[in-house]
Amino acid sequence: MRYAILGSGAVGGLYGGRLAQAGHDVHFLLHSDYDQVAERGLRIDSVRGDFVVTAPNIYRDAADMPPCDVVIVALKSTNNHLLAGLLPQLIGEHGVVLSLQNGLDVEAAAIAAAPGHGVLGGCCFLCSNKVGPGHIRHLDYGRIVFGLYQEGAEGTDWTLERGEQILADMVGAGIDAQWTDDLAAARWRKLMWNIPFNGLSVVLDAATDEIMASPAARSLAETMIQEVFQGAASCGVSIDESAIATTMKHTETMVPYDSSMRLDFLHGRAMEVDAIFGSPLRAVTQELSRKRKTGENSVHPMPSVAMLHQQLQFLDSRPRQTSNPAS
């Protein structure tokens, strides 16, 4: 299968790089990093072993890329408006999109941009940052959990087949990839981390270790994890309750980590506020109003998450200085 990688940052650079290193036919669309990658290749410093993809297939323009069977979308979701211009140029016959973005329902943009194509979504549980042009630093963890975004949509059969092939390619390339029949559960499971730790890291200007070391901030994070857990349940998504404690424990034992949202904030870039906060809050609110109509009233409206969302909206919308204008 031929892969296109849109977004060669912490996620696309790492997983695209692993697929390319394993000998797969991988094509990277690059923007600001093109010259450096052309000169020095794609460099991955990883806890699982460092490597450099010395001569990757790279492009400045999607129009120059060959039709691909799998388009991995690893752009920031704030750039999803670009997909309408990119996907039709890239995606081959029976090609599928695999969105590895943070948030909920981030696949909707791909559905709209590539009608008739299958869309898969995946969650990446890892600590990884882009530390320079074409230079990824993978610090901890690394699992991808992916599955079908729309059950029963047209082309589900061959989309599932593509999913199996992707899984085989990834596992063969040494990626800790897993298929899931319940993408929504994986998305909400990941939100249990992203919502508290992306959000609080920005508002409190703190890395994960500082949050976990403070009784007040730690308790706040746990409250939010519980709210997200309840929010998922109210949307009919079932997650094992042990995930609450596991999320806290994993964060405690992980390397001190600057979340992607914090790095975006510090570097003056748009933050994924709507995908990570707005979208799940809307999902829960919709369930809330639906159930109220039918006489039920058991939905938790995630009050702390809603407040953090408003704080982030404020911080995201105002002009801010970049601490590192070069990034």
Q: Which residues are at the interface with its own copies (CB under 8 A)?
A: 200, 203-204, 206, 210-211, 214-217, 219-220, 223, 303-304, 307-311, 313-315, 317-318
Beta carbon of residue 202, minimum distance to its own copies (angstroms, whole number): 11
- DSSP secondary structure of 250-284: HHHHSPP---HHHHHHHTTPPP-HIIIIIHHHHHH
Closer Cβ to its own copies, 57 or 226, answer by number: 226
Active-site position among 76, 130, 190, 291: 190
Closer Cβ to its own copies, 212 or 263, answer by number: 212
Beta carbon of residue 313, minimum distance to its own copies (angstroms, whole number): 4
Spatial separation of the C-alpha atoms in residues 244 and 237, rounded to whole Å: 15
User: Token match 């070391």: residue?
Assistant: 213
Closer Cβ to its own copies, 111 or 192, answer by number: 192
The single-letter code of the amino acid at 224 is M
Burial class (CB in 10 A: 0-12, 13-18, 19+), 323: exposed
Which of 102, 237, 241, 129 is closest to 180 using CA atoms?
A: 237
Beta carbon of residue 138, minimum distance to its own copies (angstroms, whole number): 28
Which letter, b or e, does each residue of 299-318 get, where b requires 16 or more Cβ atoms within 10 Å of its Cβ?
bbebebbeebbebbeeebee
Beta carbon of residue 304, minimum distance to its own copies (angstroms, whole number): 5
Q: Is 76 a catalytic residue?
A: no
Closer Cβ to its own copies, 311 or 327, answer by number: 311
Which letter, b or e, does each residue of 254-265 get, where b requires 16 or more Cβ atoms within 10 Å of its Cβ?
beebbbbbbbbb
Catalytic residue list: 190
